């Protein structure tokens, strides 16, 4: 299964507001399962990238301090119609990406 992302972006005054919601547990590996006494295995999005019109503009690294089902909002100078791709990868190697055109 790929990581599920929902992204949206619209251009206002030459600046695109790119917002994404990602479905992911962001499990730190430290939280205990009360029923078994063992920790839940670590599952954490580590890297996030935003590509606008073929150029990488944002390169992010996340830790377990980012909330579960993360929300991210970045601003990029762009034109409407530009293609945006957001891709994420977690520590287990699971990936997800979403591509859309700016309104």
Partner 1 sequence: MKRRSFLKATLATGAASVAVSAGLLTPSTVLASWNKEAFEAKKVDAGLKALLGSADAADSADVKLTAPAIAENGAVTPVTVDASGMKGVESIVIVASDNPTPLVCEYKFSGAAQGFVSTRIRLGSTQQVVGIVKAGGKLYKAQQEVRVTIGGCGG
Q: How far is the CB of 68 from partner 1 (least distance, A)?
A: 7
* Binds partner 1 (CB under 8 A): choice among 25, 95, 101, 103: 95
Residue 65: burial class (beta carbons within 10 Å; 0-12, 13-18, 19+): exposed
Which helix (H) or strand (E) element contains residue 46?
Answer: strand 45-52
* Neighbouring residues of 31: CB distance < 8 A, sequence distance ≥ 6: 39, 40
Q: How far is the CB of 43 from partner 1 (least distance, A)?
A: 14
* Neighbouring residues of 15: CB distance < 8 A, sequence distance ≥ 6: 75, 76, 77, 78
> Is 86 a binder of partner 1 (CB under 8 A)?
no
> Is 47 a binder of partner 1 (CB under 8 A)?
yes
Q: How far is the CB of 6 from partner 1 (least distance, A)?
A: 12
Residues making contact with partner 1 (CB under 8 A): 1-2, 4, 15, 30, 46-47, 49-52, 54-68, 70-78, 85, 87, 89, 91, 95-99
């Amino acid at each position: 299964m790929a990581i599920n992302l929902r992204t949206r972006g619209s251009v206002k005054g030459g600046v695109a507001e790119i917002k994404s919601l990602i479905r992911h547990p962001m499990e730190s590996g430290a939280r205990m399962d009360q029923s078994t006494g063992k920790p839940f295995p670590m599952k954490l999005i580590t890297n996030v990238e935003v590509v606008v019109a073929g150029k990488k503009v944002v390169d992010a690294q996340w830790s377990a301090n980012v909330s579960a089902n993360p929300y991210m909002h970045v601003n990029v100078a762009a034109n409407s119609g530009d293609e945006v791709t957001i891709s994420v990868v977690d520590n287990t190697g699971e990936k997800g990406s979403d591509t859309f055109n700016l309104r």
